[in-house]
């Protein structure tokens, strides 16, 4: 017996995203969302502050969504209504590239968000910091990325411009909420191992400031779908070799938990301005 997944070829991933969006409309009673937010490690509590929960359900009830693989990643999807009346889709279920299920599954949530009508995609993650001034718990804006996965969510001759991928306009909105927000270039490695100190030095030499295992592929898919992207990293640890202590997944989770109230409040206030 072969196990198949709804996104496996020859399925059209955009049709599967349309089906998933119809599932979300049925489960939430909301037929159009304005903004979508993917919550990475450390950002999980933000949903409560963004708006009133209209509906919440396990992501696995939506066509094409896989079970979350990592502790610290919540496997739920929520529909919220903000004070100003915007419908926000909260995606607490991320499929990582390192799970090796293919890029289609990694970007399915983004394509589904676009199919629900969302024009803005907010991508958040927990990541390692290359800049020594960034202490664990510092949120930073993503200004651009370097995709070191050697992969793409685009299939065939789909040429998409990635200039201003992480919207300057949205970064300015975020800075109007918190003028102290720093920004940097996010480097997506495949993972799931953390980087070696030499790889972190390479990331720095090629213009990177943040290292992580998500986001870049999702941002590309969001741009392909015509969405405006806002990216946030929570610096959970100094990247390997930047500080003498070895990295641990527990440290990443703990830093996320400690920073949660502050970054949740920040994210909610930024979304309130979108
Ligand atoms: N590297 C890659 N991914 C991460 C890190 C890191 O240092 N911290 C949290 N996610």
In a domain, 1, yes or no: no
In a domain, 6, yes or no: no
**Residue keyed to tokens 């870049």:** 216
In a domain, 7, yes or no: no
- Specify the residue with its C-alpha closest to ligand 1, atom 2: 212
Residue 147 has which token pair? Answer: 């995709």
- What pLDDT digit, counting tens, does each position of 157-182 carry? 999 999 999 999 999 999 999 999 99
In a domain, 126, yes or no: yes
Report pLDDT for 243: 87
- Percent of the chain past pLDDT 70, that is, above it, reads 96
- Specify the residue with its C-alpha closest to ligand 1, atom 6: 128
Confirm or reject: Cβ of 195 under 6 Å from ligand 1. yes
Contacts of 22 (CB under 8 A, 6+ apart): none
In a domain, 2, yes or no: no
Active-site residue, 71 included: no
Instruction: Tell me how many domains the chain contains.
Output: 1
Q: 267: domain CATH number?
A: 3.40.50.1580
Place 204 in a pLDDT band, splitting at 50, 70 and 90: very high
Has residue 20 got a pLDDT over 60? Answer: yes
Confirm or reject: Cβ of 40 under 6 Å from ligand 1. no
**Distance of alpha carbon 13 from the chain centroid:** 19
Could you count the other beta carbons within 10 Å of the beta carbon of residue 160? Answer: 14
Mean pLDDT of 143-151: 98
In a domain, 198, yes or no: yes
Domain interval for residue 48: 13-175+182-271
CA 56 – ligand 1 centroid, Å: 29
Could you count the other beta carbons within 10 Å of the beta carbon of residue 76? Answer: 18
Report pLDDT for 188: 98
């Amino acid at each position: 017996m072969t196990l198949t997944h709804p996104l496996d070829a020859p399925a059209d991933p955009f049709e599967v995203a349309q089906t998933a969006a119809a599932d979300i409309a049925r489960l939430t009673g909301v037929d159009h969302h304005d903004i979508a937010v993917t919550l990475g490690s450390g950002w999980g509590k933000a949903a409560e502050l963004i708006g009133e929960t209209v509906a919440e359900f396990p992501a696995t009830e939506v066509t094409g969504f896989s079970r979350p693989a990592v502790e610290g990643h919540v496997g739920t999807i929520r529909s919220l209504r903000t004070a100003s009346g915007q419908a926000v889709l909260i995606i607490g279920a991320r499929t990582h590239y390192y799970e090796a299920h293919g890029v289609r599954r990694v970007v399915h949530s983004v394509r589904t968000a676009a199919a629900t009508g969302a024009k803005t995609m907010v991508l958040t993650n927990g990541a390692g910091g290359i800049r020594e001034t960034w202490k664990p718990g510092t949120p930073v804006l993503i200004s651009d990325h370097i995709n070191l996965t050697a992969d793409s969510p685009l299939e065939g001759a789909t040429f998409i411009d990635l200039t201003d991928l992480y919207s300057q306009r949205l970064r300015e909105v975020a800075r109007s909420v918190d003028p102290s927000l720093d920004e940097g270039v996010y480097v997506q490695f495949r993972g799931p191992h953390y980087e070696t100190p030499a790889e972190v030095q390479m990331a720095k030499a090629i213009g990177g400031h943040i290292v992580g295992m998500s986001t870049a592929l999702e941002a590309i898919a969001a741009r392909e779908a015509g969405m405006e992207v806002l990216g946030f990293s929570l610096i959970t640890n100094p990247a390997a070799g930047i500080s003498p202590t070895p990295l641990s997944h527990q440290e990443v989770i703990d830093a996320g938990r400690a920073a949660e109230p502050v970054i949740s409040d920040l994210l909610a206030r930024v979304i309130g301005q979108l």
